[in-house]
């Protein structure tokens, strides 16, 4: 980490977390953050659901909710970006405070509740973005919607022409009863509506499904069955958790979804189980607690074709992106892999035994 980034992070950590989040985006927009530019090599190049990536490390949804800093984030070294979540209409989200740093646990709790400027504003920015790494949009539903399932299709209809992929987010714990849409019948109907919209677009957009880490074995089996039969292109595993097991921070009982280091083991086990259930028929994207090259590599070896991070930047800054990618390249070289695809799933059995 460079000195300027260390000083910046220290300053941000003295502020309210949500204010710091907003200021970090402003700093990116103003060109105040040192960025490495594109990072890739033949070993790190990969393909996920038809998307050709320079490297397998992506930015998870939630950081740039309104797609305001895409130009800078494209120069941060990520292989792909995901913005949002976007809802059909703008909404303020849940009351503040709604973001907490659990420094002792290297974790974050948020209960934002899909706060965003609405899909129309976000789609305009996506349409005007510079060329670069693939950019996807996380699809959400308005809290007061009479038909939340239809909201996902609406967002895709409006923004679909301007994105490289779209992620159906039925796994946020911060919109009441949203996770109920992960049930077999509800999810099948919701995805059918989204796929119908996707099939009506002039250009085919891969559709991903983001799931919660708090699903039981039977629920995971149902998710896998629905996903394989629905026509979606990948599963993102996982979103934040409601669990507070093993935390030491005095803020551990704040309401919302927990992300960061404590999620790594559980989310990776869910990922490995999904890899087993889908048997290579759907690519998986591993999310949850990734802060090091070893952890990114473990996600890949557990079954992920690509990985995403977000919360680890709160503690490590954007410099962790090139650090992870350099380390991942070294780990793959050590183990004799010439591509990411060769490494996918090679360590799955260890996680299934956990």
Catalytic sites, residue numbers: 172
Strand, coil or helix: what is 90? coil
Specify whether the CB–CB gap between 259 and 115 falls below 8 A. no
Length of the chain counted residue by residue: 354
Specify whether the CB–CB gap between 231 and 191 falls below 8 A. yes
* Angle between helix 264-278 and helix 293-302 axes, rounded to 10 deg: 30
What sign results for the dihedral spanned by CA atoms 123, 188, 219, 298? negative
User: Distance between alpha carbon 133 and the CA centroid of its chain, in Å?
Assistant: 15
Query: What is the spatial distance between Cα 154 and Cα 151, in angstroms, rounded to a whole number?
Result: 5
Question: Which tokens hold the place of 316?
Answer: 């490590």
Query: What is the spatial distance between Cα 348 and Cα 248, in angstroms, rounded to a whole number?
Result: 29
Block residue for tokens 């970006």: 81
DSSP secondary structure, 133-154, as one string: S-EEEEE---TT-S-HHHHHHH
Report cis status (omega within 30 of 0) of the bond before 276. no
Query: What is the spatial distance between Cα 62 and Cα 85, in angstroms, rounded to a whole number?
Result: 7
Query: What is the spatial distance between Cα 33 and Cα 317, in angstroms, rounded to a whole number?
Result: 10
Strand, coil or helix: what is 102? strand
CB atoms closer than 10 angstroms to residue 227: 25
Query: What is the spatial distance between Cα 295 and Cα 107, in angstroms, rounded to a whole number?
Result: 15
Enumerate residues 6+ apart whose C-beta is below 8 A from 260. 102, 105, 106, 107, 108, 289, 291, 311, 312, 314, 315
């Amino acid at each position: 980490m460079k000195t300027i980034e260390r000083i910046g992070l220290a300053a941000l950590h003295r502020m309210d977390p949500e204010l710091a989040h907003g200021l970090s985006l402003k700093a990116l927009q103003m060109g105040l953050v040192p960025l490495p530019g594109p990072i890739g090599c033949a070993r790190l190049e990969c393909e996920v659901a038809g998307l050709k990536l320079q490297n397998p490390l992506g930015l998870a949804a939630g950081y740039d909710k309104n797609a305001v800093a895409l130009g800078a984030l494209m120069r941060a070294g990520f292989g792909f970006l995901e913005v949002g979540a976007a809802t059909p209409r703008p909404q303020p989200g849940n009351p503040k405070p709604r973001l907490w740093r659990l420094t002792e646990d290297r974790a974050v709790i948020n209960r934002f509740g899909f706060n965003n400027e609405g899909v129309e504003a976000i789609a305009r920015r996506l349409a005007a973005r510079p060329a670069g790494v693939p950019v996807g949009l996380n699809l959400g539903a308005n809290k007061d919607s009479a038909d939340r399932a239809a909201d996902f299709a609406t967002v895709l209809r409006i923004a679909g022409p301007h994105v490289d992929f779209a992620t159906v987010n039925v796994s946020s714990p911060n919109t009441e009863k949203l996770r109920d849409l992960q049930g077999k019948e509800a999810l099948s109907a919701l995805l059918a509506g989204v796929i119908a919209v996707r099939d009506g677009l002039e250009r085919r957009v891969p559709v991903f499904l983001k799931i919660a880490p708090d699903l039981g074995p039977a629920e995971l089996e149902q998710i896998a069955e629905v996903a394989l039969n629905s026509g979606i292109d990948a599963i993102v595993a996982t979103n934040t958790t409601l669990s507070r097991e093993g935390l030491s921070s005095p803020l551990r009982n704040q309401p919302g979804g927990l992300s960061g280091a404590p999620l790594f083991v559980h989310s990776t086990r869910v990922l490995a189980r999904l890899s087993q259930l889908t048997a290579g028929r759907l690519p998986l994207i591993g999310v949850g607690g990734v802060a090091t090259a070893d952890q990114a590599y473990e996600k890949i070896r557990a079954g992920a074709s690509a990985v995403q991070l977000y919360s680890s930047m709160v503690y490590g800054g954007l410099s962790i992106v090139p650090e992870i990618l350099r380390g991942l390249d070294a780990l793959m070289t050590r183990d004799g892999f010439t591509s990411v695809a060769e490494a996918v799933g090679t360590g799955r059995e260890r996680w299934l035994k956990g």
